[in-house]
Structure 1
Amino acid sequence: MHYVLSDIHGNKDAFDKILSMIDLKPEDHLYILGDVIDRGDYGIELLQHIREMENCTLLLGNHEYMMVNALRHPENLHYKYVWRNNRSLITFDKFFKLTEKEQEELLCYLETLPLQLEITVNRRKFILVHAAPQELYETENMRRYHLKEFMVWHRLTPFSQMPARKNVIFGHTPTLQFHKTMHIFHGKRMLDIDCGCGFPNSCGQLGCIRLEDMTEYYSNDGVFSKEEAAEWRKTHR
């Protein structure tokens, strides 16, 4: 089975709940679309745990991107300011409680994270990315930014034109901005799965989807089959 979630933002309790729900088997695979760190208390611990998971692939998010920039270039005040301005203080403090060897290993790990992956499940093609797929770099007229920055920072909208015959799964933009609820947003060839886990005081939660049958898992609201999720969306617009 293939599972996808995004934007844990240091919320270890929510991540543990989702892992308990999906009961990940050795033959299964979990994809995490970035932003493991910041806002919550356990970003560093979660990074270390995810790094050791053999059946888990982490993609680069804008918060990991900021972290690498700030820590690899400590003389650059802009990098430091941008990361700190995005609620990184707990992550920063915990990083420097690691040994130098652990710090270097963690940064090297983050530097190897993919920006985008394409997988096929039941003959359906999925593009996995944190914020926006590279295919939209030209059409979204964002060439003033570097491609890497576009892929981890750009905000898609329900009207963004996705690549033909592919389904884009992304995080970064809380689903509340798409359909006024913290459940997975299903658009035209797009799935937004950032259910606001970084904002638990605003009813945010961690969302996860199983691609084989589109079952949805939520750290607060439980499990929804594809049919139940569709019915829920009808009554919560």
Structure 2
Amino acid sequence: MNYVISDIHGCYKEFKALLKKIKFSPADTLFVLGDMVDRGADPIGVLKLMASYPNIYPLAGNHEFIMMSILPKLMQEISEDNIESTITEEFLHKYNLWIEDGGATTVNGFKKLLKEEQEFLLDYLDNMSVYEKIRVNNQNYILVHSLPSDLQNKKNLNYQIEEVLFGRPDFTASWNQEDIYIIGHTPTFKIPGAVPGKIYRRNNLIDIDCGCVTGHALCAYCIDTGEAFYEPVLI
């Protein structure tokens, strides 16, 4: 089976329980649509668990995009020769914004790792895709963290990375394209008419960010069957 999960945001316990709930096996494939890190209690545990499976594929979210622009510099040995070029005012501003947006849990967990573990996780994330296109049951699916607001007027994702990862699609549009888009980034409780803690579907747009880190649920969506699995189960 082919599964997608999005916006784990450090919710390690829920992620591990969800893998057990779907009976994830070597015969299955899981795409994680970004925002694995930040905010939740154990983002590093999430990354290490993902990396232990050869059939789990990480896609970039806006939080990984920010993380990968900061952590490699934090690993550098700072000296009098490079401090001005490394720790710039722009870098400190970006770092502070990241911390305010939940990056502290990622930084604190990352600092506890051995240097070899740090390098391994950075290499792991450096190989992330921005999006994947797969075909299941004779239907094309575009798997991506988010979408630009004007995608309805175009036929492809020929955008800057920031436009894709930080964008917010127009949930009121028709979404009658041939391909089905599966995204995260916008928690469904923020979408008018959506059921909090449940996936949202409007024709060929499916949002699976069910807001786990904000007290709702983590969702695994099975592309083959259209079934949604939730952890925890919300009534």
Normalising by structure 1, what TM-score? 0.84
Q: Which has the higher contact order (CA 8 A, sep 6+)?
A: 2
Q: 2:189 aligns with which of 176, 179, 201?
A: 176
Q: Which amino acid aligns with 1:199?
A: T
Equivalent residue number for residue 215 of structure 1: 227
Q: Quickly say closer, same or farther: Cα 1:161–1:78, change in 2 above 3 A.
A: farther
Work out whether 1:129 is the aligned partner of 2:180.
no
Structure 2's unaligned 5+ residue stretches are 75-86
User: Offset of 1:171 from its aligned partner?
Assistant: 0.2
Q: Which amino acid aligns with 1:176?
A: F
Equivalent residue number for residue 8 of structure 1: 8
User: Offset of 1:13 from its aligned partner?
Assistant: 1.5
Conservation of the 8 A alpha-carbon contact between 2:30 and 2:55: yes
Which has more radius of gyration? Answer: 2
Equivalent residue number for residue 27 of structure 1: 27
C-alpha distance in 2 between matches for 1:137 and 1:158? 10
Conservation of the 8 A alpha-carbon contact between 1:116 and 1:133: no
User: Offset of 1:79 from its aligned partner?
Assistant: 2.1
Equivalent residue number for residue 115 of structure 1: 130
Equivalent residue number for residue 185 of structure 1: 200
Q: Which amino acid aligns with 2:24?
A: L
C-alpha distance in 1 between matches for 2:142 and 2:102? 29
Q: Which amino acid aligns with 1:11?
A: C
Q: Quickly say closer, same or farther: Cα 1:165–1:130, change in 2 above 3 A.
A: same
Normalising by structure 2, what TM-score? 0.85
Conservation of the 8 A alpha-carbon contact between 1:11 and 1:43: yes
User: Offset of 1:133 from its aligned partner?
Assistant: 6.6
Moved more, 21-30 or 71-80: 71-80
Aligned residue runs from structure 1 range 1-237, under 5 A:
1-74=1-74, 75=87, 76-132=91-147, 136=151, 139=154, 147-160=160-173, 162=175, 164-178=177-191, 179-200=194-215, 204-221=216-233
User: Offset of 1:154 from its aligned partner?
Assistant: 0.7
C-alpha distance in 2 between matches for 1:103 and 1:126? 33
Q: Quickly say closer, same or farther: Cα 1:180–1:214, change in 2 above 3 A.
A: closer
Structure 1's unaligned 5+ residue stretches are 223-231, 233-237
Conservation of the 8 A alpha-carbon contact between 2:40 and 2:213: yes
C-alpha distance in 2 between matches for 1:108 and 1:162? 36
User: Offset of 1:27 from its aligned partner?
Assistant: 1.1
C-alpha distance in 2 between matches for 1:65 and 1:78? 16
Identity of aligned residues (%): 33
Q: Which amino acid aligns with 1:125?
A: N
User: Offset of 1:105 from its aligned partner?
Assistant: 1.8
Q: Quickly say closer, same or farther: Cα 1:163–1:82, change in 2 above 3 A.
A: farther
Q: Which amino acid aligns with 1:101?
A: E
C-alpha distance in 1 between matches for 2:209 and 2:15? 13
